[in-house]
Chains A and B, each alone.
Chain A
Amino acid sequence: EAGVAQSPRYKIIEKRQSVAFWCNPISGHATLYWYQQILGQGPKLLIQFQNNGVVDDSQLPKDRFSAERLKGVDSTLKIQPAKLEDSAVYLCASREVQGTQYFGPGTRLTVL
C-alpha cells in the first residue's frame, strides 16, 4: 500500500513570497491533516479535512495560510505571503474514518 505522498520535499523562498505544498493521502482515507512542525517542537495541527469539508482550522493563520481539498482526495496548503517564522516542516497525514494517522515525509520550508 502506498503511503502519504508530499511534494516538494524541500523549498527555500524569500520572505513575502508565496509557496504551495501538495499532499496525496493514502487511497480511501477520508480524513486529511496538515501539521506545522517547528524545529525542536512537536507537530501542531493547522487544518483537518473530512472528505472535502473542513473539520478544524482553528490554528490556521487565515490571513496568510489557506488550504483546500478538492474532490476529497489531494490537498494543497498555501502560504501567501511567507514570513521568517513560517520556516518549518509541513507534514500531511491521513487516516480512515477511525484509525491511526499515517504521515507523509514532510516538506521542509526555509524562509530567508
Chain B
Amino acid sequence: SQQGEEDPQALSIQEGENATMNCSYKTSINNLQWYRQNSGRGLVHLILIRSNEREKHSGRLRVTLDTSKKSSSLLITASRAADTASYFCATAARYGKLTFGQGTILTVHP
C-alpha cells in the first residue's frame, strides 16, 4: 500500500515562480526522500531528510519535515521549464525499504 500522499496531484506555474508540494505519511520513518521523474525516464534522487531534521536545503530545493504531523514539503524556488516532471516523496523504514506516494505532476510554463 502507498504510505505517502502528495498534494496537489498536479501543479501548473509560470517560470520564475515557486512550486510547493506536500507529502503526508502514516507510520514512523527513518528518513523521507524526494525524487523527480521525467516522462518515460527513471527516478532521480533529489534530497533526503532524516527523521531528526526539520529542514534541509539543496540548491533551489528546500525540504521541511514535521514528524509530529507526519508531513513534509518540497519547495522549488525560481522554477524553470526544465523542472517540469513528476515529483515523488518516499518514506524509508528499516533495511532502506522505500514506500512511494502517488506523486505530484509539476508543469512549468516558459
Identify the A interface with B (CB < 8 A).
4, 31, 33, 40-45, 48, 50, 55-56, 91, 93, 95, 98, 100-106, 108
Contact = CB atoms under 8 A, between A and B. Distances in A.
Q: Specify which of B40, B90, B96, B97 lies most central, judged by the most chain A CB atoms within 10 Å of its CB.
A: B96
A101 B88 CA distance: 14
A48 B2 CA distance: 17
Interface residues of B, number: 22
Interface of B: 2, 4, 33, 35, 40-45, 48, 88, 90, 95-103
Grouping DSSP codes into helix (H, G, I), strand (E, B) and loop, the A interface class, with mixed when no group exceeds half, is strand
Contacts of B41: 105-106
Nearest to A9: B40
Contact of B4 (A31, A42, A55): A42
